[in-house]
Chains A and B, each alone.
Chain A
């Protein structure tokens, strides 16, 4: 079975400051890794994913995440946040082999203060 732990339930930061949202996972088999974003009163949208290859993956709006196999982590970072980044962020994993259900972390609410 897989499990995902997001270490911070809430992260408040000031606009234009850097941010890191932490995610650790546990799995006995190889997994794909994902970050989803949920803006207020909306469904989830895929932000970025790690499938294979380069361990650093980027999104179109300036977020990046690095897969660290030895530490079983997939932390999300952005060097300078905007008010529009206010949302809840979910880390998720799915098995590479077999039924590809997603297992989600608890979520991290990112609040940007002006």
Chain B
């Protein structure tokens, strides 16, 4: 199992450009998440998808859109990139564990720089 994979690993954009970050998981998990990580701020949830066909906003959704293409894939789109979106982006998926909590598994991240 590859777990959670993300592409690309690195990306540099100019202000105003658009791009899509791809995420896929092969663990048959229902829930998937997109986070951004900024120095001194931990990880903040951008969007999540509790199941195929549903998406919900997290803490910092402005400037982003998501698509849950199928159970495996959850993409994050920046329509018009801004320097404030320079960050490391992590995708995660989760499975409900005995005991009733969702254990999240993280991808390796995408480092995005917006000039």
Residue positions of A touching B, CB distance < 8 A: 4, 6, 9, 32, 42-46, 49, 51-52, 90, 94, 96, 99-102, 104-107
Contact = CB atoms under 8 A, between A and B. Distances in A.
Contact of A101 (B4, B42, B58, B99): B58
Contacts of B104: 46, 102
Interface string B31-69: 001000000111111001010000010100000000000
Interface residues of B, number: 25
Given A43-B109, A44-B43, A101-B45, A94 B102 contact: yes
A32 B42 contact: no
A105 B44 CA distance: 9
B9 to A, nearest CB: 10
Contact of B90 (A43, A52, A106): A43
A101 B102 CA distance: 8
B72 to A, nearest CB: 18
Contacts of A107: 40, 42
23 contacts: A4-B42, A42-B109, A43-B106, A43-B107, A44-B43, A44-B90, A44-B92, A45-B106, A46-B103, A49-B101, A51-B99, A51-B101, A52-B99, A90-B43, A94-B101, A94-B102, A96-B100, A100-B102, A101-B45, A101-B58, A102-B43, A102-B45, A102-B104
Contacts of A102: 43, 45, 104
Nearest to B101: A32
B5 to A, nearest CB: 11
Contacts of A99: 50, 56
Q: Which among A6, A44, A45, A49 has the highest number of chain B CB atoms within 10 Å?
A: A44
A102 B33 CA distance: 10
B108 interface: yes
A51 B45 CA distance: 22
Nearest to A90: B42
Contacts of B106: 43-45
